[in-house]
Chain A
Amino acid sequence: MKYRNVIQCDVAIYNPVEDMTIDYGPIIIIGFFILLALIIVSGIILYKVYKDMDKKEERTEFVNGVNMNNEVSTNISMVNTLENKNMAEQEREKYNDGPVVSFGSTDNNSYSGTTIDGSDNQV
């Protein structure tokens, strides 16, 4: 039997043009079952790879989401702080007495418990 190289794929291949006596013996059939098994295994791996890639994408999106939320909450707390300062100033002007404590915000990130003159009188 004669064999020749294949044009492109580096696979040692039987050339049916040169010889018609192809032996379709049991080992050839077993070979095709092995091939089938390899196809299934490769398919499973490909599925796993895609699943893993999807997970990574989701994780990236989640991380971005958290970052955005943090930015939003920081902005909200800054707004609260400014609002509280304004309210405190208005109250001081109204009653014209010493440091005023603001109770305006329930946001933990805001500075609503601090006096407007900067002292650390926490409520």
Chain B
Amino acid sequence: MKGKINLILATTCHILVDYLCIMTLFNLLKNDTPNEMRMLYNILAFGTQAIIGYIVDISKNKWIGIIGAILVSTGSLIYTNEILVIFIIGMGNAMFHVGSSLFVIDESDGRLSDLGIFVSSGAIGVGLGTISYNRLASIVLIALSILWGIKLGREKGRLQERERELDFNIASNNHGVVFIAFICIIIRALGSGKSLCTLSGSAWIMVISISSCVGKAFGGILSDKFGARLIGVISMIVSMISIGYSFVIGAVGVVIGIIAFNMSMPITLGVIIDELKNYKCFGFGLTTFGLLIGSMITLFQYKLSITKNVIEMICLSGMALVCMMYVVKGGRKENEI
């Protein structure tokens, strides 16, 4: 438990950071604000993480995450200039994600469950930020950041001691593993924006967010237990079947499909970090960059019916399955056997 304090703090802050960013974005921009502002936010928050990650990998600066969280809190309290606010929360979000990933990955000891738990919490923040509004979260985030800062201050010099080469032992020996994993992330992002049933509203948004969160978290936990390749392949097959059957079993099929579809997320993240070894924060940034590219492509997609969306989603799951089989070798469990 003692060794997991950074993970608990990072996960809690992750919910608050994503909540504040989306909440600010929705309330600041209202309904008449141009589309481009959201694009600017996405580019700042998700496109710059690879670059910031590389800087963190080189400098080993442990304060980046806390600075990011404080920037997001500050940005959510300012309502003067749209572009300024978007710049602050966008950069704050990017810095927080990369900075906190440094601790989460370092303390994971090669376990995918830690990565899954950390990344999963963001979905809850996004879901809550879409449907609710509470500026008190900014104060809570500042308080948590100060607490985290005090804790890190006491751990002077521990970062270098802890610095070691992690071995997730899941990346296959094939050529271009990072590239194919990156493509897999883009494919997943393409599928993530699709409406798969007629349901809508706040409750449905929260159902999607919770399903996504559960999928990511359990993807990591089950991969540690049964092997990353096995879970990656099974999850994609389950996703294809359940989404395909959603016409018969309704929203339940969609929920199961979303859970299974998201289970591969910590696996692809683990593969990239495993491949890039000492450049883990850069690897983390690359995954979010893949999500951004996928989401940008969806801007140019034509309106499709739910039936066509479901068919497209099944095809995307199939493509992701092929990518997973290429990039993931047996997880640690399989190797032990």
Taking a contact as CB atoms closer than 8 A, the residue among A12, A16, A42, A53 that contacts B42 in the complex is A12
Instruction: Decide yes or no: A32 and B286 within 8 Å by CB, A4-B205, A11-B42, A15-B193 being known contacts.
Output: no
Beta-carbon nearest neighbor of B291 in chain A: A9
**B140 contacts partner chain A, Cβ-Cβ < 8 Å:** no
Contact A42 B46 (CB under 8 A): no
Q: Mind listing 6 A-B residue pairs with CB under 8 Å?
A: A5-B129, A9-B189, A10-B18, A16-B298, A25-B34, A31-B39
Q: Does A34 count as interface, using CB distance less than 8 angstroms?
A: yes
Determine if B110 is an interface residue (Cβ-Cβ < 8 Å): no
B42 partner residues in chain A, CB cutoff 8 A: 11-13
A-B contact count (CB 8 A): 150
- Residues 17-53 of chain A: 1 if any B CB is under 8 Å from the residue's CB, otherwise 0? 1101011010110011011001101100110010001
- Extra inter-chain contacts (15) besides given A11-B46, A20-B303, A28-B35, CB under 8 Å: A1-B31, A1-B35, A7-B211, A8-B189, A10-B18, A10-B123, A10-B125, A12-B38, A12-B126, A13-B42, A27-B36, A35-B296, A42-B51, A42-B289, A46-B282
Counting CB contacts under 8 A, is B6 at the interface? no
Report the separation of the CA atoms of residues A53 and B304 in the bound assembly, to the nearest whole angstrom: 45
CB pair B289 A38 closer than 8 Å? yes
Task: Give the distance to chain B from A29, nearest Cβ to Cβ, in Å.
Answer: 10
> Are B291 and A22 touching (Cβ within 8 A)?
no
By beta carbon, the residue of chain B nearest A17 is B195
A-side contacts of B265, CB under 8 Å: 8
Q: Contact between B208 and A28 (Cβ–Cβ < 8 Å)?
A: no
Query: How would residues 143 to 179 of chain B score, 1 for a CB under 8 Å from any chain A CB and 0 otherwise?
Result: 0000000000000000000000000000000000010
Find chain B residues with CB under 8 A from A25 CB. 34, 36
Counting chain A CB atoms within 10 Å of each CB, the highest count among B122, B129, B277, B295 belongs to B295
Whether B216 is near chain A, meaning CB under 8 Å from some CB there, is yes
Q: Say if the beta carbon of B100 comes within 8 Å of chain A.
A: no
Are A5 and B208 neighbours in the complex by a CB distance under 8 Å?
yes
User: Which residues from 30 to 60 on chain B have a C-beta closer than 8 Å to any C-beta of chain A?
Assistant: 31, 34-36, 38-43, 45-48, 50-51, 54
Within 8 Å CB of A10, what residues of B?
Answer: 18, 122-123, 125-126, 291
Report yes or no: A6 in contact with B295, Cβ–Cβ below 8 A. Answer: yes
| Structural contact, A34 and B43, CB atoms closer than 8 A | yes
6 pairs of A and B residues whose beta carbons are closest in the complex: A9-B291, A27-B36, A7-B192, A10-B122, A11-B295, A5-B126
Contacts A5-B208, A16-B299, A20-B303 given; indicate if A38 touches B43 (C-beta within 8 A): yes
A103 within 8 A of B: no
Are A16 and B43 also in contact (CB < 8 A) when A9-B189, A27-B34 are? no
Mark B256-284 against chain A: 1 for CB-CB distance below 8 A, else 0.
Answer: 00100110010000000000111100100
Q: Determine the distance from Cα of A31 to Cα of B296 in the docked complex, in whole angstroms.
A: 9
Contacts of B127 in A (CB 8 A): 5
Q: Chain B residues near A31 (CB, 8 Å)?
A: 36, 39-40, 43, 296
Q: Mark B63-84, 1 if CB is under 8 A from A, else 0.
A: 0000000000000000000000
Q: Is the beta-carbon distance between A11 and B35 smaller than 8 angstroms?
A: no
Flag if B286 contacts A17 (CB, 8 Å): no
Select one of A7, A16, A18, A28 contacting B36, CB under 8 A. Answer: A28
